[in-house]
Amino acid sequence: MSHSKLPDTGTTIFTVMSQLATEYNAINLGQGFPDFNMSEELISLVNKAMLNGYNQYVHTNGLGVLREKLAVKAEKLYKTNINPETQITVTPGGTYAIYTALTAILQKDDEVIVFEPAYDSYIPNIIINGAKPVLVQLQFPGYSIPWDEVKNKITRKTKAIIINSPHNPTGMVLSETDIEELKSITQNTNILIVSDEVYEHLIFDDIPHRSILRYPELLERSFVCFSFGKTYNCTGWKVGYCISSALLMKEFRKVHQFNCFSCNSFVQYALAEFLDNEEAYLFLGNFIQRKRDYLQSLMKQTGFNAIPSHGSYFQCYSYKDISEENDMDFAIRLTKEVGVTTVPLSSFYQSKKDDKVLRFCFAKKEETLRLASERLQNL
């Protein structure tokens, strides 16, 4: 199209790699979704809600009882006092929440600080709103944030900073020092924060999740985005929510009400009931950590080198001891010739920076991980 609003945006790498995996019948450790079963109890609750007739529109901000339960959860986990009436909106997924937040605040020519490697929706979300992504690369190989560079890139036009912890694709998690830096950079400014916390429960090694919800001075300038898909191993359900200050939420809802209006009803009834079961989300970190560790132990038999991951569904592995190919070619060859699909890290950089690293999704059955690593040993 001659006047495309996103002239440089193609098909997301996740779709590209998943299609390739299907075509070549490869084991798909590319896209981030579990291949194991979700809770049957939660499925029954959804069935029950539908059969009980909860099939009509619910409130545009989300089912009241669900928002109340989410406020209680936030209070328990992060010692924060959230008003479910004014500060929580249920959304069709975390990605939608991020898009809605950015659309609610961005004006033409605003600047948004984005850390790379970056989840692939952020930059198109900024550009479609007429704003400009200002890129800061995390420091390879630890993927820590270079705060001095962030400070240097802040201008009068900086409207927001997007943060993501635990981080996709690297598994990096924010430390208390990062939070202090964020506080000091934003205090006495109008800079807003969009915090992508969809992996809040997928955090390992006894590290606490440093949710923005814990820090009132940050929360007042933040949209914090969550995903039930990640919390309950049901990524296909596409339900999430956003928590922010009441002032920011008012703007968020102006966009939301004329975009999706309200999310599917029966899942919200089911989630509201299931949230009483704290174990269902509290056990998740350990459960997924065991999968990270299992894949890591198997990968020792291969030429890949693990880069530490402390959260998310993902771990990055360097293949520089195996091949000098660029990461895209290498990932395609792995799918076609070895039968294992991953995601090349260059696809998370605008510059296509190639550190010879692939992202592996370990949220899979042990059998899947074992089979994949056996194939990789033959390289």
Q: Does 168 bind ligand PMP (CB under 6 A)?
A: yes
Structure-token pair, residue 7: 């002239």
Which residue, 82 or 118, is less far from ligand PMP as judged by CB? Answer: 118
Strands annotated E in 175-229: 192-196, 222-227
Smallest distance, ligand PMP to C-beta of residue 197, A: 9
Q: Which is nearer to ligand PMP, 94 or 298 (CB)?
A: 94
- What's the closest the beta carbon of residue 32 comes to ligand PMP, in angstroms? 5
- For tokens 């696809």, name the residue: 347
Contacts of 327 (CB under 8 A, 6+ apart): 319, 344, 345, 346, 354, 355, 356, 357, 358
Residues 6+ apart with CB under 8 A from 173: 165, 166, 167, 203, 207, 209, 210, 310, 311
State how far the alpha carbon of 123 is from the alpha carbons of 73, 115, 118, 238, 276, in Å: 31, 10, 8, 21, 36
Residue 164, H or E segment: strand 158-164
What number of chain residues touch ligand PMP (CB under 6 A)? 14
User: Of the two residues 240 and 344, which places its CB atom closer to ligand PMP in the complex?
Assistant: 240
Among 110, 111, 116, 196, binds ligand PMP (CB under 6 A): 196
Q: Is 240 in the site for ligand PMP (CB under 6 A)?
A: yes
Instruction: Using CB under 6 A, pick the residue from 16, 28, 30, 32 that binds ligand PMP.
Output: 32
Binding of residue 235 to ligand PMP (CB under 6 A): yes
Regarding 245 and contact with ligand PMP (CB under 6 A), the answer is no
Chosen residue from 227, 315, 335, 368 binding ligand PMP by CB under 6 A: 227
To 5 degrees, how large is the angle CA 346–CA 347–CA 348?
90
- 100 belongs to the binding site for ligand PMP (CB under 6 A): no
Q: Which of 54, 119, 252, 319 binds ligand PMP (CB under 6 A)?
A: 119
Shortest reach from residue 261's CB to ligand PMP, in Å: 18
34 near ligand PMP (CB under 6 A): no
Window contacting ligand PMP (CB under 6 A); options: 91-99, 204-212, 248-256, 290-298? 91-99
Backbone torsions φ then ψ of 122, nearest 5 degrees: -60, -50
Tokens linked to 137: 């690369």
Query: Minimal CB distance to ligand PMP: which residue?
Result: 93
CA-CA distance, 281 to 33, in Å (whole number)? 16
In the complex, minimum distance from the CB of residue 52 to ligand PMP, in angstroms, rounded to a whole number: 25
- Residue 164 makes contact with ligand PMP by CB under 6 A: yes
Q: Is 195 in the site for ligand PMP (CB under 6 A)?
A: no
Residue entry with tokens 């989840």: 119
Least Å from the CB of residue 164 to ligand PMP: 5
Label residue 312 left, alpha or beta by phi (over 0 means left) and psi (-120 to 50 means alpha).
Answer: left
**Interface with ligand PMP, residue 171, by CB under 6 A:** no
What is the smallest separation between the CB atom of 376 and ligand PMP, expressed in angstroms? 23
Smallest CA-to-CA distance from 158 within 186, 137, 183 is with: 186
| DSSP code, position 362 | -
Q: Does 61 bind ligand PMP (CB under 6 A)?
A: no
Identified binder of ligand PMP from the candidate list 104, 198, 212, 234, rule CB under 6 A: 198
| Cα 171 to Cα 212: distance, rounded to the nearest angstrom | 18
- Between CA 176 and CA 171 the distance in angstroms is 16
CA 351, CA 358: separation in Å to the nearest integer? 16
Residue 210 or 238 with smaller CB distance to ligand PMP: 238
Is residue 116 a contact point for ligand PMP (CB under 6 A)? no
Residues lying near ligand PMP in the complex (CB under 6 A): 32, 93-95, 119, 164, 168, 196, 198, 227, 229, 235, 238, 240
